[in-house]
Structure 1
Amino acid sequence: MQGLAFCGHDESVTSKNRENFLEILNWYGKRVDNVGSVLNENALKNNQMTSSQIQKDLARACAAETTSYIISEIGDSYFSLLVDESRDKSIKEHMAVIVTFVNKKGQVIERFLGVEHVTDTLASSLKAALEGIFARYSLSISRLRGQGYDGASNMRGHFMV
């Protein structure tokens, strides 16, 4: 992950750098007439649906749709997990989860499944978060064929099938 800022400190029209979401939206609006007219002409200035909360809602919706697609791609295939734990600059612990599987065409597919916030990096916390992922996405632990824990080596031996 690149760690690009999504929302900016100064998102006003006169700002030279409105951060990534608004800059991309503006760029796209200049190239696609329908988007540009909605953004610049038809939307009321106080109802352009570009607030930081709307940006977060859009990002969550995109993530949910993408994850749903990934889960459907996995289907009943065997898969493996790669887990990497880290902490952000505010010292909150995170666990990134990558899933690898072979699709129906015989191609090895690797997908980023998501980032889970965890209270700490104890094996019990990481295991609980992984069990939550399995439950949330209806993944069967009996289909799990491999595990890798980059930066989460304290998981060794704690999540065996």
Structure 2
Amino acid sequence: MVGGQSGKDAFITEGFDNWILHKQMKLEQSNYEIRLRVTIRSCRFLLKNALPFRGYDETEKEDKEKIFNVTLENAPKNEKLTSPTIQKDIVNCFSKEIIKSICDEIGKDVFGILVDESSDVSKKEQIAIVLRYIDRVGIVNERFIGVVHVLDTSSLTLKVAIDTVFSNNNLTIDQVRGQGYDEASNISGAFNGLKSLILNENSYAHYIHCFAHQLQLVVVGVAKKHDDVEEFFEQLGLVVNVVCGSCKRKDMIR
């Protein structure tokens, strides 16, 4: 008597309808949103203050009962919002929103580009990209918009990386009015350097040697010619290496 025992064909014509289950699902969704907001707020605080995401102090400091009841030890055991993977995803979202706001501020106006190449601790080649522009109230801004991993440091590879960053942020080479690099041949080369590849597409993208790098070269050159200065920096380097090799030595020098 399948059809006669129930006044409602819940599983056949109208689908499953259980208000208790729906209520439980809404509660879980609400609790998850609370945990997500707390995680985002914590990530924002750590990023703003340049603090590590992991440390020796994992004490429970949340004093709002509504939040405390669904977070930390009270959260589901399979919750992953505190995992490094999720935290990196949240940080990546912050990064995209910040870069978007910078590029929206530039809009269709012109800007200069500053690029330098460097390898990280894992020995991956990468380039750092900075945009220099004047905002709507006439203030000059320099905004770091990211580090891009590259397979090599040839001028063509660097050009492709910059084109990709521009394309992803609605910017174009035609907007560039200045280039600032060091004197590495793959970047400042007159024929096949990065500056030349950009100038071939936009003749208004004037190249200027990075003044900070020029100043560094001058200081290093002068220091090496002065015996007392050279000896000072040599001894300073030894002290830094010795102190930085031990946490106890760091505490002692403090």
What's the TM-score bracket when you normalise by the shorter of the two chains? Answer: 0.7 to 0.9
* Residue in 2 that maps onto 1:158: 197
* Residue in 1 that maps onto 2:61: 30
- 2:133, 2:142 → 1: CA distance? 7
- Provide the secondary structure at the position in 1 that maps to 2:132: strand
* Residue in 2 that maps onto 1:11: none
Deviations along 1:21-63, one digit per CA (max 9) or x if unpaired, are: 245xx68x73673665543354224315111111111111111
- 2:145, 2:67 → 1: CA distance? 30
User: Compared with structure 1, are the counterparts of its residues 74 and 51 closer, same or farther at alpha carbon in structure 2 (3 Å cutoff)?
Assistant: same
How many percent of aligned residue pairs carry the same amino acid? Answer: 40
- Provide the secondary structure at the position in 1 that maps to 2:61: helix
> Structure 2: which amino acid aligns with 1:98?
V
* Residue in 1 that maps onto 2:135: 103
* Residue in 1 that maps onto 2:102: 70
- Greater fraction of residues in helix: 2
- 1:72, 1:57 → 2: CA distance? 22
Pairs aligned (count):
141
Is the contact between residue 93 and residue 119 of structure 1 (CA under 8 Å) also seen in structure 2?
yes
Is the contact between residue 78 and residue 101 of structure 1 (CA under 8 Å) also seen in structure 2?
yes
- 1:71, 1:152 → 2: CA distance? 28
Higher-Rg member (1/2): 2
Higher relative contact order (CA 8 A, sep 6+): 1
* Residue in 2 that maps onto 1:137: 169
TM-score (norm 2): 0.50
* Residue in 2 that maps onto 1:81: 113
The match for 1:124 among 156, 162, 168 is 156
Q: Does 1:57 align with 2:89?
A: yes
Deviations along 1:102-157, one digit per CA (max 9) or x if unpaired, are: 00100111111111110111111101101111211111222111111247552222
Is the contact between residue 39 and residue 48 of structure 1 (CA under 8 Å) also seen in structure 2?
no
* Residue in 1 that maps onto 2:9: none
Structure 1 stretch displaced more, 151-160 or 117-126: 151-160
Structure 1: 5+ residue runs without aligned partners? Answer: 1-18
> Structure 2: which amino acid aligns with 1:79?
F
Moved >2 Å (runs of 4+)? 29-42, 150-153
The match for 1:46 among 78, 97, 111 is 78
